[in-house]
Structure 1
Amino acid sequence: MAYKGLQSFIRKLETSGELKIIEAPVSPELEITEITDRVSKANGPALLFREVNGSRYPVLMNAMGSYKRMSMALGAEKLDDIADDIQKYLDIADNLSVLGLLRSVPRLLRLLSVFPRKSLLRGECQQVVEKFVDLSSLPVLKCWPQDAGPFITLPLVFTRDRKTKRQNCGMYRLQVLDSTTTAMHWHKHKDGSEIYRGYAEQNLKMPVSVALGCDPAVTYAATAPLPKMLDEMMLAGWLRKSGVKMVKCVTNNIYVPADAEFVLEGYVDPTEEPVLEGPFGDHTGYYSLADYYPKFHVTCITHKREAVYPATVVGKPPMEDCYMAKATERIFLPLLRMQIPELVDLNLPLEGVFHNCAIVSIKNKYPGCARKVMNAIWGMGQMMYTKLIVTVDESVDVQDLAAVRDAVLKNVNGTQSLLFSEGPLDALDHSSNRPLFGCRLGIDAASLTRGFNEEVTNTFKILRIRKDRAWKGRELVENYLWNHPDKFVIVVDEEVDSRDLSTVMWKVFNNIDAKRDIAVIDFKIGVDATKKWKQEGLTREWPDDIVMTGAMKRQVDKRWNEYGID
C-alpha cells in the first residue's frame, strides 16, 4: 500500500486507533521527549502534538513505534510478510517451469514500481518557498538535558555523487547551530561521508537537500543498510508497490520526494573548518560525545502549506528506532540466508540497539559450523559492527529469549564455546579502549560441547557493585568464578536493578569489550559490565547514561491529565 505522503499515514493511524492527538501546548525542549518516552515504553500510540511552543507546525512522534505501526508503515500485515515476498524473488529455481513463470508474473510486474518517477512539475513539498531561511521557525526538539542544542532527528539527507551523478539518501542527524546552519553528522563509514570526500578532493561545494516527513516507507528506506550502488528510493518504491515521485529542488539539481512535508536545500563546503557537534542522547541509551563534523548551510526552505514536522527521540530501549531495526532484521533476513545457507533465523533484540547483539539459529551440519556463520556475519556490510553473536540450533526459536537462555546455559562450555574476533566497531560504541576498533564475541550455543566440569551448575548470577577503583568489577568476576558453581556471572554497577533483566542485558551489550571484560575459569564465564575507568585502558571519555531531569519529570507528572493520554 502506498501512502500519499506522511499525512495520509497519519489519517490511517487515526482511523486505526493508533494515534493520540494532544491539544495542550507543549515545549520542544525536553517536554515532548519526556511524554513520548513514557508512551513509547508503555507500548502506547503515535502522538501528534498540535500546539508546540514557538512554532506553528504540529509535531508527529512515535509514528512507527510498535510492531503493528511499523508493519502499517510498510503496507504489510506483519513484517514477516515482506520477508516472504523477498524470499519468493530469491527462489529462482521454482520459477524455471512454465507454471512457475506464470506464477511469477505479478512479482515481476511489481519490479516495475521500484524506479523513482521524476516529475518536471513542482511537488507538494514546494507549495511554499520561504523567502528568508529561519530554522528557528521549525519545532526542532532538544531531546535530552545534555544535548548540545536542538537536533533534527528524522532527516532524509539526499546527496549526489560528483562523478557518477548517482543520488544517495541516508539518515544523519542535524544539530541546529543558528538560523541558517546545522552540523552534518555523517560517520566515516557512511555513504554520505564518502560522497563528501569526493567533493573535498576538488575543493568543491557539495549540494545537499534534506527532506522531512515523507511516506513512512521512504523514511524507512533511508535507514536501510543497502549496498552503495542501490538507490534507497528503489527500495521504497518496491515496499510501496509504487515508484516514489521525485521533484527537482528549487536551488540545486538534487531530486527529493514530491510529498515531503519540508525540504531544506543547501550545501556543505569542504574548505570550511568542521564544527563541534554534540553531545547527543543517542539510540544506545548513552550520550554520544562531541566531535567535529562538516557544516550544512541551508539556503532555501520549501514546504507544504499545512505541513507536519516529523521527529523521533532515541535513548534507552525500547523506543521507536528499535522497531525500525526489527523491520531491517526481517526484510534483510532472506538476503542473509542466500549468502549464508546454514542460517535459519535472526533476532536483533531491542536491548542490542541495532549493532550490539545478534542471535541466530543455524543448521548445525558440521564441526565449526557456528564459527563459520559468525565469521560470515562479521564479513557482511554493517553486520561487521555486531559486538555479540549468539548461535543456537535451528530447533531453538531465536525470538524466545527464555529458550535462547536455556540453550546457552546448557551448551556453552568455557573457552571452547567462545570466539573472540578483533575488528571494526560502530562509531557509537563506547566500551572499547579506542574508537572504532575492539573485540567482538561469538558464543556457540548451537550444540553440546564435551568436557563439562560436573561441579558447574547451569545457572547464572547477577551481582551489583559500588565501583570505587579501577578493575574492581573484573576482580569480583574472577573471585566469584573461583568460589561458586554458577556457569555465568555478570557484574553491573550498583544503580542497575539486577531484577530487571532487560536493563542488565542492555548494559552487557553496551559496556563490554570481550577481550578486556570476559573471564573464563574452569568452564565458567564471567562478564564485567560495569562502567570502565581510564586506568583500565580507555583512551577516551566514558559517556553518561541518558536520564531526564527531575524537574521535567515532575512537570510532566503535574500536567499528565492535560495531555489526555490514558
Structure 2
Amino acid sequence: PIIKSWPDDAERFITLGLVATKHPETGVRNLGVFRMQIIDKTHASMHWQKHKRGANHADISKDKGEKIPTAIIIGGEPATVFSSIAPVPEGLDKYLFAGITRKEGIKTVKCKTIDLEVPANAEIVLEGYVDPEDIRDEGPFGDHTGYYTPVEPYPTFTLTGIMRRKNPVYLTTVVGKPILEDAYIGKVIERSFLPLVQMFHPEVVDFSMPAAGWFQGFAVISIKKRYPGQAKKVMMGLWGMGQLSLTKMFVVVDEDINVHDMDDVIWAITTRSDAARDTIIINNTPTDTLDPASPLVNLGSKMGIDATQKTREEGYMREIQQQVKVDDKTKNLVDSKWSDYGL
C-alpha cells in the first residue's frame, strides 16, 4: 500500500514510518519520522537530515565501522507517533516521553532480527539496518515546503525481517504546499512545547509557528518586555534551542499582540519596528535541509524582527505615541444602550 504522492516523485515513499534507533554508546532510544524512498523489495533510502538524532546515531556507528540496527514502525497509538516528531531535549528516551504523554508506559517487544525494542501495538514493523557506507541517490520528493526536494545522496536501509498484526492498517500521510494534514500535527506540537520554551525564557507569553511558514520557516513570539534589547535576547536564545535553531525568521512582539492573528502581528511590525534599527540578519547558520531558498543545503541565513515598542535606550528619540483606544466610560455607555436599540 506504499503510495506515490505527487506526479514527479522519484518513487513510492514511506512517509509516516517511525524510525527507531538507539544511541550506539548510551543506548538512549530515539524515534523520528524520516521519509524512505523504495528502491526494491529489500532496500530503501533513509532521508536522515544532518541535524536529526537518527543521523547522529548513524554517524557514530560509521565512526565505529558498524551498521546501525533500525526498525521502521508503521501505525500504533497516537502518543508514540507524537513522540517521534516532538522536539524533546537531547538525551530523553522517546519511549519514555511517549509514556509521559499518555500517562502510562509504552509496552514494547523485542525485534526478531535486530537488537531493538518496538511498541507492542504497532501495525507493521520493518526490521533491518542502515549502512552508512551504502550511499544512493534519493528524490525528488514533493515535500511540506510546497516544493520538490532535489536528488541528493542518502544512506540505504536493508530489510532483514517483518512483524505485523493479523490485519494491519497502513498509516501514511501526504505532505505538500501548506496547509495540509501535517499542519494539525505541527500545531499540537507548538502548543505542547510552549511551557518548555517558557521554562528557558520566562518572559515569553505566547508562541506561534504559522502553518503557511511550514513551521521551521517562520515564528512569532510575544514577550513581557522589561528592559532594552530583550527581544533580541529571546531570538538568540531560541535559535540555540534544538529544532528551533533551524527556524529562518523570528518576529518578537509585545504581550498585547495576539501572535495567532497575523493582522495584529503585521500591525505591530509596521508600527513598532524600524527596518534599519530592528532587523537583524545572521549569515552562515544551520538551516532546515528542506529549505528551498537557502544558498546551500543545510546552510543559510536567519532574520529577526524586533516589533516591540522601543525605549530611548534602544534609539527611539521621539515622544512615545499614545495608542488609540476606546475609554471605559464610552464603552460602558454603548454597552448599556444595546437593549434600547433592540439589538
TM-score normalised to structure 1 length: 0.54
Q: Residue 308 of structure 2 corresponds to which residue in structure 1? A: 446
CA distance in 2: counterparts of 1:440 and 1:256, whole angstroms = 38
1:335 aligns with 2:191: no
Question: Is 2:228 the partner of 1:367?
Answer: yes
What residue is the counterpart of 2:334 in the other structure?
A: none
CA deviations 1:363-396 (Å, max 9, x no partner) are: 1111111111111111111111111111111011
CA distance in 2 between counterparts of 1:263 and 1:184 reads 16
Equivalent of 1:307 in 159, 168, 182: 168
The C-alpha deviation readout for 1:78-98, integer Å capped at 9, x for no partner, is xxxxxxxxxxxxxxxxxxxxx
**CA offsets 1:539-562 (integer angstroms, 9 cap, x no match):** xxxxxxxxxxxxxxxxxxxxxxxx
Which residue of 69, 75, 81 maps to 1:213? 75
Matched, 1:161 2:27: no
2:137 aligned residue (276, 280, 295):
276
1:37-86: CA deviation from partner (whole Å, max 9, x where unpaired): xxxxxxxxxxxxxxxxxxxxxxxxxxxxxxxxxxxxxxxxxxxxxxxxxx
Give the root-mean-square deviation of aligned CA atoms: 1.4
2:129 paired with 1:263: no
Q: CA deviation at 1:269?
A: 2.3
Is 1:325 the counterpart of 2:186? The answer is: yes
Alignment of 1:134-145 (within 5 A): 139-145=1-7
Once residues 144 and 451 of structure 1 are traced to their aligned partners in structure 2, the CA distance between those partners, rounded to angstroms, is 54
1:260 deviates by: 0.4
Letter of the 2:156 counterpart? K
Pairing 1:425-436 to 2, within 5 Å after superposition: 425-436=287-298
- Displaced runs of 4 or more, over 3 A: 448-452
Report what 1:97 is aligned to.
none
Aligned partner of 1:356 among 205, 211, 217: 217
Task: Name stretches of at least 5 consecutive residues in structure 2 with no aligned partner.
Answer: 319-343
d(CA) in 1 for partners of 2:202, 2:150: 39
**1:451 to partner: Cα distance:** 6.4
Q: Which one-letter code corresponds to 1:390 in the other structure?
A: V
Residues 240-260 of structure 1: CA deviation (Å, up to 9, x unaligned):
111111000111120000000
Q: Indicate if the aligned counterparts of 1:203 and 1:271 stay in contact, CA closer than 8 A.
A: no
The corresponding residue for 2:10 is 148
Deviation at 1:163, TM superposition (A): 2.0
AA in 2 matched with 1:375: M
Output the amino acid matched with 1:192. G
Name the counterpart of 1:176.
38
For residues 306 and 288 of structure 2, the distance between their equivalents in structure 1, rounded to whole angstroms, comes to 23
Give the helix-richer structure, 1 or 2: 1
Matched, 1:251 2:113: yes
Q: Deviation per CA, 1:280-301: give whole Å up to 9, x if none.
A: 1011111111111111111211
Write the letter of the residue equivalent to 1:314: V
Given that 1:224 and 1:328 are in contact with CA atoms closer than 8 Å, whether structure 2 keeps it comes out as yes
Could you tell me which amino acid in structure 2 is paired with residue 286 of structure 1? Y
2:126 alignment partner AA = L
Contact 2:29–2:95 (Cα < 8 Å) also in 1: no
Residues 399-440 of structure 1: CA distance to partner in whole angstroms, max 9, x if unpaired? 111111111121122211211122211111121222222221
Amino acid at match of 1:301: I
Task: Name the CA distance, whole Å, in 2 between partners of 1:183 and 1:429.
Answer: 20
Percent identity over paired residues: 44
**TM value normalised by structure 2:** 0.88
Residues in 2 aligned to 1:335 and 1:414: alpha-carbon distance in whole angstroms: 31
The superposition leaves residues 321-370 of structure 1 with CA deviations (integer Å, 9 ceiling, x where unpaired) of 11111112111111111111211100100111021101010111111111
For the pair 1:224 / 2:224, whether they are aligned, the reply is no
Partner of 1:163: helix, strand, or coil?
coil
How much does 1:141 deviate? Answer: 0.7
User: CA separation in 1, counterparts of 2:23 and 2:270?
Assistant: 50
Q: What is the one-letter code of the residue matched to 1:209? A: A
1:140 Cα deviation from its structure 2 partner: 0.4
**Equivalent pair of 1:152/1:173 in contact (CA under 8 Å):** yes
Paired with 2:309 and 2:173, the residues of 1 have a C-alpha distance of 41
Q: How many residue pairs are counted as aligned between the two chains?
A: 313
Give the Cα–Cα distance (whole angstroms) in 1 for the partners of residues 73 and 79 of structure 2: 13
